[in-house]
């Protein structure tokens, strides 16, 4: 691997202008193609093999009109007024909505009787001629414009419903730019020069541009979730900056040791470059493992993020050497006054603290584990639910405002419509749909059941029903389970609420398998790399502790509301059901990255001296500044996404930032030296059947400071 990365970098450095031009061209081309030929994002929430999938397939085959998307145009007036005073304006708006492309039918609030008991709120039921996932977002914009007659008359107008929620364009916070500025400050402190600090940021921006452009092109071939670009950008910015940081730090260290620029670059790419390949490969493997869930939208998130990380590794191996070759000695331009670049290991805080822990390992071990377990305790009360329009910010989403108005006027269940889909061709089918309707409507969790609608061939019937509770309410899930127990085998329950409930269950069922697969893969990787059974077991246990602590913080903040005002939260939330799975994949990949850089340095010191305590101290001292800087950059980048309007992205940002902080402080500075001191030589034990086959690791970082 060392030879391969050295050769790739050397080829790029020999033709730096061509390499840089090729990457700039690739970024421009990817963005241009994405804007003109890029696909659209589709959120596939169907759990394979579920009852909701059965109902969806049946409708698409026999009754496609019933499977088409729907939305609600909501009209409201102030308290004490009645909507019918603006009948003419509302009717005009409904007529204009009917003329919008893809609108198959629209039933106004006065004609359909969909006005609230107090007469203040009403909605027009809109039916499209395509499923909600296939609807062009431009149609929603046109509907919003069509409601202008009502707005001009002083009526509040909002657009809600499944189609509006699925296809709504989320607002962006702009906080990502703040995260990049904060990362630049960290890089200035780490490198001490302006030019060296700017290199990783520039590299990350080009990487993300190419990566996200590629994700949009991928959407032409696969169904890619709308969450994929945001998550891909989040991870891409973090790893793009970090990988460049690792290589640039080693390159400048080699130059400081007296090597000329070419030799310093070659040595840096042979060591840190190969470590970056291994680190990036770990993240790619962890994200690709999301396909084990069997869920389309998670698979697309995993593949999209993996694609961005591959771009980050590729740019670190090619674009970065070209940039360093072009800069030459100018990499140290813009020196920050008073910044000391290098120091002996014995003078660093990491070396001194490692020895302090080694003198009293048990107290430090017990205290650290206790802190992590206390932080993880709230995770025992974790309650998951799929995000809906009610989780969005009212200030940024018309779908959320429509959701609130509908719940106020008609009860929370109006936002969780369900469909009973009856296969009338099944043997021994019960055609007594009236009796079925009465049986379901008698359930205390069902507010009403509509009249049956029949397919043109009369072989399929659909009955709409409204629960009494909100989409993400636990009571709605319980009602859904009871209704499924009431209906015969030829009847299935469909609707977005049913689909997301089935998805939640599949995520819960597949999460243990997913975690076990990632743990097994990381164990084998670390065992081969470090020729040890104990090291990968320790790494897995410590990663689980830091992940558990991050889960607990997310539950405490979002679900319980602790310190919610600090993060701009207006209410409490259930934890988004995809979060634990995505979070585990991302964090485990990133944690193993830091584990590889740290333990490879410790192993190198141990092979040289045989002194377990001193090798741990020198390993921490040799990697301390760079890994701490990398972790701090990850933290500020992830925290910048806490301002995102999407609850899933906000939770992911806070959780990842928390886990990185725990990993870089409690785990790396306290638990690693404490445990490795207690284990002594046992750290590096490997049965004889594997020892002669495993290669010796090469460290990617040798900077002291």
pLDDT tens digits for range 356-395: 888 899 999 999 999 999 999 999 999 888 877 777 766 6
Distance CA 138, CA 650 (A): 27
Distance CA 465, CA 498 (A): 12
pTM over 0.85: no
Q: Is the separation of the CB atoms in 159 and 144 below 8 Å?
A: yes
Band (431; pLDDT cuts 50, 70, 90) = low
Strand 156-160, strand 70-76: pairing: antiparallel
Q: State whether residue 130 is helix, strand or coil.
A: coil
Q: Is the separation of the CB atoms in 214 and 31 below 8 Å?
A: no
pLDDT score recorded for residue 126: 94
Mean pLDDT of 291-313: 89
Paired residues of 107 in beta bridges: 125
Sign of CA dihedral 292, 38, 19, 631: negative
What pLDDT, in 10s, does the model give residues 501-533?
Answer: 998 888 888 888 888 888 888 888 778 777 788
Mean pLDDT of 40-51: 80
Q: Which of the two residues, 612 and 91, has the higher pLDDT score?
A: 91
pLDDT score recorded for residue 693: 45
Band (697; pLDDT cuts 50, 70, 90) = very low
Distance CA 633, CA 432 (A): 64
The residue to which tokens 């009109």 are assigned: 65
Residue 175 pLDDT exceeds 60: no
Q: What is the DSSP letter of 669?
A: I
Strand 446-449, strand 156-160: pairing: unpaired
Distance CA 263, CA 254 (A): 8
Sign of CA dihedral 494, 495, 501, 504: positive
Percent of the chain with pLDDT over 70: 93
Mean pLDDT over all residues of the chain? Answer: 85
pLDDT score recorded for residue 275: 78
Q: Is the separation of the CB atoms in 334 and 193 below 8 Å?
A: yes
Q: Would you state the structure tokens that stand for residue 489, as one six-digit string?
A: 């085998």
What pLDDT, in 10s, does the model give residues 49-70?
Answer: 888 889 888 988 888 888 788 8
Q: What Cα–Cα distance (Å) separates residue 354 from each residue in 277, 360, 579, 671, 682?
A: 29, 10, 35, 10, 19
Sign of CA dihedral 112, 113, 119, 123: negative
Nearest to 658 by CA among 538, 504, 520, 555: 555
Nearest to 293 by CA among 590, 46, 654, 647: 46
Instruction: Looking at mean pLDDT, say which of 359-368, 427-436, 449-458 comes out highest.
Output: 359-368
Q: Is the separation of the CB atoms in 139 and 114 below 8 Å?
A: no
Distance CA 59, CA 67 (A): 6
Residue 549 pLDDT exceeds 50: yes
What pLDDT, in 10s, does the model give residues 577-605?
Answer: 888 888 888 888 777 777 777 887 788 78
Residue 691 pLDDT exceeds 90: no
The domains found in the chain, sorted by start residue, are 1-37+192-342 (1.20.1640.10), 71-167 (3.30.70), 343-379+497-705 (1.20.1640.10), 418-494 (3.30.70)
Distance CA 423, CA 428 (A): 11
What pLDDT, in 10s, does the model give residues 562-574?
Answer: 988 887 777 788 8
Distance CA 212, CA 299 (A): 16
* Cβ partners under 8 Å of residue 416, min gap 6: 466, 467, 469, 470, 471, 476, 495, 497
Least confident range from 89-98, 219-228, 258-267: namely 219-228
Paired residues of 326 in beta bridges: none
Distance CA 675, CA 330 (A): 43
Distance CA 513, CA 391 (A): 29
Band (345; pLDDT cuts 50, 70, 90) = low
Nearest to 208 by CA among 227, 178, 229, 193: 229
Residue 169 pLDDT exceeds 80: no
User: CB atoms < 10 A from the CB of 319, how many?
Assistant: 26
Band (317; pLDDT cuts 50, 70, 90) = very high
Distance CA 269, CA 243 (A): 11
Q: State whether residue 120 is helix, strand or coil.
A: coil
Distance CA 278, CA 272 (A): 10
What pLDDT, in 10s, does the model give residues 207-235?
Answer: 989 998 988 888 888 888 878 888 888 88
Q: State whether residue 493 is helix, strand or coil.
A: strand
Distance CA 9, CA 584 (A): 32
Least confident range from 295-299, 398-402, 567-571: namely 567-571
Mean pLDDT of 553-560: 94
pLDDT score recorded for residue 692: 47
């Amino acid at each position: 691997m060392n030879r391969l990365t050295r050769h790739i970098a050397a080829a790029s450095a020999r033709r730096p202008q061509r390499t840089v031009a090729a990457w700039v061209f690739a970024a421009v081309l990817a963005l241009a193609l994405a804007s003109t030929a890029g696909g659209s994002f589709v959120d596939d929430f169907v759990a394979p093999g579920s009852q909701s999938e059965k109902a969806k397939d049946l409708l698409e085959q026999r009754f496609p009109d019933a499977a088409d998307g729907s939305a609600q145009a909501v009209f409201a007036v102030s308290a004490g007024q009645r909507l019918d005073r603006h009948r003419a304006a509302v009717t005009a708006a409904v007529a204009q909505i009917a003329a919008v492309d893809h609108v198959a039918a629209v039933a106004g609030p006065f004609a359909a009787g969909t006005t609230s008991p107090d007469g203040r709120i009403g909605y027009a039921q809109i039916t499209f001629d395509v499923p909600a996932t296939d609807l062009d977002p431009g149609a929603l914009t046109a509907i919003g414009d069509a409601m202008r007659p009502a707005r001009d008359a002083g009526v509040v107008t909002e657009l809600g419903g499944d189609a509006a929620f699925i296809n709504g364009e989320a607002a962006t916070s702009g906080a990502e730019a703040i995260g990049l500025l904060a990362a630049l400050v960290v890089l200035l402190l780490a490198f001490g020069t302006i030019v060296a600090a700017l290199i990783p940021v520039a590299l990350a921006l080009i990487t993300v541009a190419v990566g996200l452009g590629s994700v949009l092109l991928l959407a032409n071939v696969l169904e890619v979730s709308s969450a994929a670009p945001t998550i891909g950008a989040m991870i891409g910015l973090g790893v793009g900056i970090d990988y460049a940081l690792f290589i640039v730090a080693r390159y400048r260290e080699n130059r400081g040791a007296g090597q000329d620029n070419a030799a310093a670059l070659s040595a840096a790419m042979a060591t840190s470059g190969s470590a970056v390949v291994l680190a990036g490969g770990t993240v790619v493997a962890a994200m690709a493992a999301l396909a084990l869930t069997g869920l389309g939208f998670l698979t697309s998130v995993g593949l999209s993020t993996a694609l961005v990380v591959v771009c980050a590794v590729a740019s670190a191996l090619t674009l970065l050497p070209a940039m360093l070759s072009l800069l030459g000695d100018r990499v140290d331009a813009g020196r920050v006054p008073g910044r000391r670049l290098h120091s002996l290991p014995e003078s660093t805080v990491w070396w001194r603290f490692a020895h302090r822990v080694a003198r009293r390992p048990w107290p430090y071990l017990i205290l650290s584990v206790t802190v992590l377990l206390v932080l993880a305790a709230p995770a025992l009360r974790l309650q998951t639910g799929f995000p809906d329009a009610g989780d969005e910010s009212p200030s940024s989403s018309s779908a959320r405002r429509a959701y609130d108005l509908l719940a106020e006027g008609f009860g929370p269940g109006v936002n969780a419509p369900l469909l009973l889909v009856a296969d009338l061709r099944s043997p021994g089918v019960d055609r007594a749909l009236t009796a079925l309707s009465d049986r379901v409507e008698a359930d205390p969790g069902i507010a009403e059941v509509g009249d049956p609608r029949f397919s043109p061939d009369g072989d399929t019937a659909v009955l709409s029903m409204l629960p009494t509770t909100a989409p993400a309410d636990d009571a709605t899930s319980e009602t859904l389970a009871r209704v499924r127990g009431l209906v015969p085998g030829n009847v299935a329950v469909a609707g977005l609420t049913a689909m997301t409930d089935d998805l939640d269950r599949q995520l819960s069922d597949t999460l243990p398998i997913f975690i076990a697969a990632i743990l097994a893969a990381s164990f084998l990787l670390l065992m081969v790399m470090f020729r040890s059974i104990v090291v990968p077991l320790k790494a897995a246990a410590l990663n689980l502790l830091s992940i558990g602590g991050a889960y607990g913080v997310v539950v405490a903040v979002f679900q319980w509301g602790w310190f919610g005002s600090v993060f701009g939260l207006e209410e409490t939330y259930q934890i988004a059901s995809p979060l634990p799975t995505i979070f585990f994949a991302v964090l485990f990949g990133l944690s193993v990255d830091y584990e590889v850089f740290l333990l490879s340095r410790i192993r190198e010191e141990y092979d040289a001296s045989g002194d377990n305590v001193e090798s741990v101290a020198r390993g921490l001292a040799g990697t301390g500044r760079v890994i701490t800087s990398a972790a701090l950059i990850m933290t500020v980048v992830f925290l910048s996404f806490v301002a995102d309007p999407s609850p899933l992205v906000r939770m992911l940002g806070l959780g990842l930032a928390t886990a990185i902080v725990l990993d870089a402080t409690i785990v790396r500075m306290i638990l690693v030296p404490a445990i490795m001191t207690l284990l002594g030589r046992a750290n590096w034990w490997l049965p004889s059947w594997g020892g002669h086959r495993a290669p010796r690791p090469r460290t990617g970082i040798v900077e002291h400071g």
